[in-house]
Amino acid sequence: MEDLPEPLLAEIVKRITRTSHLNSLCLVSKQLYTVEAEHRDAILVGCGLDPSTEALVSLFSRFLNLAKVEINYSGWKPSNGDQLNNQGLRVLSSHCPLLSDLALSFCSYIGDSGLGYLADCKKLRSLRLDCAPAVTSTGIFRVAVGCRHLSVLHLVDCMEVDNVEWLEYLGRYGSLGELVVKDCDEINQYDLLKFGPGWANLQKFDFGIIGNYSYDPSYVLGYPYSYEICCDSLKDLRLAHIITDQEIGLRFLLGKCKALETLYLEYVIGLKENEMIALFQRCSNLNTISLRLMPLHCEDDQFRTVLTDVSLKALALSCPMLQVVELTFTLCGPNWPTEIGFTQEGIMTLIQSCPIRALLLNGASILYDEGMKCLSSSQFLETLELVDCCSITDAGMNFIIQAPCLRSLTLRRCKKVTDNGMAELARRQKLESLTVIGCCNISEEGVHGAAKTVRYSAEVETWFNLKGLNMKRNRKRRRSP
């Protein structure tokens, strides 16, 4: 190995992606040890850093060309030793001159002074903070001012970030292309309007409150930003657990987006079918959509999900590039199919009109075996996931396995499907992967041989535990000592 030229050794190192393999490679020779250190540009560390500051000095002194650093303390306990603190961020900023991508998760001991050191990282383009309870708006503002090339900012569960001076600064002077604000209770929809001119460059936006609903208590009638904001570049829009009303908060996005390729709407209260139809008609490049809906009292005095087959028809006619679809119906009783605004015929029309590759139907009690027969004629369907589809039986399995391109099938809590349905899948020997979870009439023996890769669990998952609907995430407001 020592006779190989260094460029060839470097190429070998680049092709090895697993950290354990790289660590083993470094034991082969001093030359490989040196080459690997010179070409390592990314590192992930966590609870094993103890003492954290000294360990970081050692790591960063060896790997001088790190561009991407992720520090994750998920599952941390006091017995694991010290966490990363503000001095650790000082070490990071002084030892990693090429740092461009930084992710900090569950770091309870970093605060504004630590983020102040990051302002010295002039090449920093991406900052992701997940559960940083001691960080406030002051620290975010320091990063915004110091890191002029910042293009990606994620704030998740940052409970002390409140005033949005940093957001106004980034909107006026920054170049953000991706902004994620989730579970930050002190930032509401109206605050985000102050991003102002920054919306024109934004390509991805994700806002939501997990298990709670965010309204705009500070709404001011006629606030000019609600009319002047441009968001023509936005391609990826995700909104979760918010309440909208006419000309309030983030509702303007639904009226102005033209370039959307991905749309996720998760339990957004206040949607109007006519504005969703208008949105679909503008966004002809849409290729991924996720609609998570629950029944509400609608304008026609019916208790159902707000969107109907009219929306699906508009989606089918206006979005010919649609490939990925999720339709989730929560709190819709299986004995009350009218609580779902869509019908089986409407969903099938969408599937037949667009080149759908991946389809997830959750709580779709309106889907019957006849619908599965229709799905089997889809020329593009590769991945199908059915959750709580209580009307599907073994006959549906006999139909769906005939879909020409189907390679992956997932069944969760589909109680009418039995081992007989799995036997048909095994007989066809067609599926690459099969996942069966919580289907009470399917046994572990029944799924044997039904696909090349099989995942089985008899445990019944609870929807509320999975998605946290109407439940506040159990978290402690941890502070720096």
CATH of the domain at 421: 3.80.10.10
Q: Which two tokens stand for residue 456?
A: 């089985």
Residue 104 lies in a domain: yes
Residue 135 lies in a domain: yes
Residue 136 lies in a domain: yes
d(CA 279, CA 284): 9
Domain termination residue (choose one: 145, 177, 209): 177
- Is there a contact between 225 and 196 (Cβ–Cβ < 8 Å)? yes
Domain termination residue (choose one: 121, 146, 177): 177
d(CA 357, CA 60): 44
Provide the pLDDT for residue 255.
85
d(CA 229, CA 44): 38
pTM for this predicted structure: 0.88
- Is there a contact between 132 and 112 (Cβ–Cβ < 8 Å)? no
d(CA 308, CA 329): 12
Provide the pLDDT for residue 212.
63
Domain termination residue (choose one: 177, 204, 226): 177
DSSP string computed for 354-413: S---EEEEES-TT--HHHHHHHTT-SS--EEEEES-TT--HHHHHHHTT-TT--EEEEES
Q: Tell me which residues of the chain have a pLDDT lower than 70.
A: 1-2, 10, 17, 19, 21-23, 25-31, 33, 35, 37, 211-227, 246-248, 461-481
Provide the pLDDT for residue 464.
44
Provide the pLDDT for residue 97.
93
- Is there a contact between 195 and 169 (Cβ–Cβ < 8 Å)? no
Total count of domains within the chain: 2
Residue 56 lies in a domain: yes
Give exposure, 6-35, as e/b (b: 16+ Cβ within 10 Å). eeebeebbeeeeeeeeeeebbeeeeebeeb
Q: Which two tokens stand for residue 432?
A: 């690459």
Provide the pLDDT for residue 477.
36
Residue 306 lies in a domain: no
Strand partners, 266: 240, 292
Strand ranges inside 166-225, DSSP E? 178-182, 204-208
Residue 371 lies in a domain: yes
Range of the domain at 372: 367-481
DSSP string computed for 6-54: HHHHHHHHHT---HHHHHHHTTT-HHHHHHHHHH--EEEE-TT-SSHHH
Residue 62 lies in a domain: yes
Residue 22 lies in a domain: no
